[in-house]
Amino acid sequence: MRLRQFLITSALFAVPAQAQDAAPQSLPSLEAALPDEVRQLLASVTTVHSLFPVNGSEPFAGNVLKADVINFSRDSELVLHNVTTPYIVIAAREVKFPDATSSYRVRFDNVVAPQGNAGVGGARGADGEGETDFTGHPGAGGSAGTSGGPGARQFLPHVYFVVDHFSVANDPAPRSINLAMKLTGIAGGIGGAGGAGGDGGSGARGHKGSDNFHSCKHGAGRGGKGGDGAIGGTGGDGAQGTRGGSLTFVSTGLGVSQFGYASIQNQGGAGGIGGAAGNAGRPGGGGPGGHGSHYCHGGNSGSAGGTPAAASAGNEGTPGMKGKTTLISVPLIPALS
């Protein structure tokens, strides 16, 4: 519920791209706008789609999408599935929308960061054996459960969006577009649960009563005390939410102006929930009293072991930082090849 509320709040505070970061930069060429490794990645992909249709929730599992035209249908979205690559490049001469009132989105697939490993349960204490001065030996205490591991973080790739221009219906140069870039950071992984504490061992039986010729010489011994149950392991800490997605948009002056009306949702991910504390071990039972004899009564049972204090749950992770959007204007977007 907390995570759902966080995502709803994030969506409410999405703002236009130009309002988020610095004013658009002006650079002399596309080559100057892209880092070396991104230029090399873009050049390494030789397949250029003449038309890449986006219908419904259109999946894209690669890291480079090159197309002459990316054509969105009404209320459609391009879903990016590759979150293990450092960069995703979307490059097109034209991005087309059928109307100005439907909603269009580019977003990452829903990703869940790995949960921390669960702690290991503690061992049960050994049962008591034998007796001293007629009293049974106590059971040993259980061993503590180990702590759960911390949740993990899953980072989003940096998205490079290279477009010559956008069009809406029959308008080749619309003033604005209704596009949302949903790049909210990934919530931190949940902490692992602490291991359960080990149970205490049972106390040993007391010594049997002893008679002389006509009476009880020594009463039966008391049973040994049960071993204490052990504390459970502390829950693992939830991971920090990852930073919202970083986006670099490169286009002509017209394209940058159009993209200024896009909604960029790049809030940091929610912090992961702390792992649950491990359950406390159960106290061992007291040993039975020694057997009675002809003249002696049986001994009393030993007392049960103690119950440990409750372990602590893991700490909640902190939210991630907001992502960064960079707009770069260049004189020309060259033909893709």
Q: 133-171: per-residue pLDDT in tens?
A: 999 999 999 999 999 999 999 999 999 999 999 999 989
Task: Look at residue 221 and tell me whether its pLDDT is greater than 50.
Answer: yes
Tokens for 43? 């050049």
pLDDT for position 336: 83
Among 156, 169, 163, 154, which Cα is nearest to 112's? Answer: 154
Asked if pLDDT for residue 213 goes beyond 70, the answer is yes
Domain count of the fold of the chain = 1
Q: What is the mean pLDDT of residues 78-96?
A: 97
The confidence score (pLDDT) of residue 169 equals: 94
Say if CB 222 and CB 148 are below 8 A apart: no
292 domain-assigned: yes
The pLDDT value given to residue 121? 98
User: Could you tell me which of 102, 250, 77, 227 has the C-alpha nearest to residue 164?
Assistant: 250
Residues 6+ apart with CB under 8 A from 213: none
Tell me: pLDDT of 13 over 80. no
Domain span holding position 324: 2-329
Q: What angle do CA 322, 324, 329 make, to 5 degrees?
A: 160
Q: What is the pLDDT of residue 21?
A: 63
Residue 104, classified by CB atoms within 10 Å of its CB into exposed (0-12), middle (13-18) or buried (19+), is: buried
Residue 207 lies in a domain: yes
Distance CA 58, CA 78 (A): 5
Residue 335 lies in a domain: no
Of 238, 258, 256, residue with least CA distance to 315: 238
- The mean pLDDT of the chain is 92
Asked whether residue 50 is assigned to any structural domain, the reply reads: yes
| Coil, strand or helix at 271 | coil
Rounded CA separation 152/319 (Å): 13
232 part of a folded domain: yes
Residue 89 · residue 44 · CB < 8 Å: no
Q: What backbone torsions phi and psi does residue 37 show, to the nearest 5 degrees?
A: -65, -30
197 within a domain of the structure (yes/no): yes
Distance CA 168, CA 36 (A): 33
For 167-209, what is each residue's pLDDT tens digit?
Answer: 999 898 998 899 999 999 999 999 999 999 999 999 999 999 9
**16 falls in which pLDDT band (50, 70, 90)?**
very low
43 domain residue, yes or no: yes
pLDDT at 22: 64
pLDDT number for residue 82: 97
pLDDT of residue 234: 98
Let me know if residue 337 belongs to a domain. no
